[in-house]
Amino acid sequence: MAKDNKFVKDITSMDVDFAKWYTDVVRKAELIEYSNVKGCMVIRPYGFAIWEKIKASLDRRFKETGHENVYMPMFIPESLLQKEKDHVEGFAPEVAWVTHGGNEKLQERLCVRPTSETLFCDHYANIIHSYRDLPKLYNQWCSVVRWEKTTRPFLRSSEFLWQEGHTAHATAEEAREETQRMLNVYADFCYEDLAIPVIKGQKTDKEKFAGAEETYTIESLMHDGKALQSGTSHYFGDGFAKAFDIQYADKDGQLKYVHQTSWGVSTRLLGAVIMVHGDDNGLVLPPNIAPIQCVIVPIAQHKEGVLEKANELYESLKKEFSVKLDDSDKSPGWKFSEHEMKGVPVRIEIGPKDIEVGQVILARRDNHEKITADINNVAEALKDTLAKMQADMLERAKENRAAHTFAAKTMDELKEIADSNNGFIKAMWCGDLECEEKIKEEAGLTSRCMPFEQEEITDTCVCCGKKAKALVYWGKAY
Q: List residues near its own copies by CB under 8 A.
A: 33, 35-38, 40-45, 48-49, 51-52, 68-77, 80, 92-103, 110, 112, 119, 122-123, 126-127, 138, 142-143, 145, 147, 158-159, 161
Minimum Å distance from CB 69 to its own copies? 5
User: Cβ closer to its own copies: 138 or 248?
Assistant: 138
Minimum Å distance from CB 3 to its own copies? 13
Minimum Å distance from CB 291 to its own copies? 10
Q: Is the dihedral of CA 274, 277, 282, 285 positive or negative?
A: negative
Comparing CA positions, the residue from 7, 1, 43 lying closest to residue 326 is 7
CA distance linking residue 348 with residue 439, whole number of Å: 51
Q: Is the dihedral of CA 447, 453, 458, 459 positive or negative?
A: positive
CB 408 within 8 A of CB 424: no
Reduced to 3 states (helix: H, G, I; strand: E, B; else coil), residue 319 is coil
User: Cβ closer to its own copies: 169 or 448?
Assistant: 169
Half-sphere exposure at residue 473, Cβ-oriented, CA atoms within 13 angstroms: 31
User: Cβ closer to its own copies: 202 or 260?
Assistant: 260
User: Cβ closer to its own copies: 75 or 191?
Assistant: 75
By DSSP bridging, strand 294-298 and strand 323-325 are parallel
Minimum Å distance from CB 132 to its own copies? 9
Q: Is the dihedral of CA 374, 336, 386, 50 positive or negative?
A: negative
CB 258 within 8 A of CB 128: yes
User: Cβ closer to its own copies: 165 or 197?
Assistant: 165
Minimum Å distance from CB 118 to its own copies? 10
Minimum Å distance from CB 80 to its own copies? 6
CB 198 within 8 A of CB 191: yes
CA distance linking residue 99 with residue 116, whole number of Å: 19
CB 231 within 8 A of CB 183: yes
User: Cβ closer to its own copies: 161 or 221?
Assistant: 161
Minimum Å distance from CB 140 to its own copies? 9
User: Cβ closer to its own copies: 76 or 296?
Assistant: 76
Give residue 324's identity as a one-letter amino acid code: K
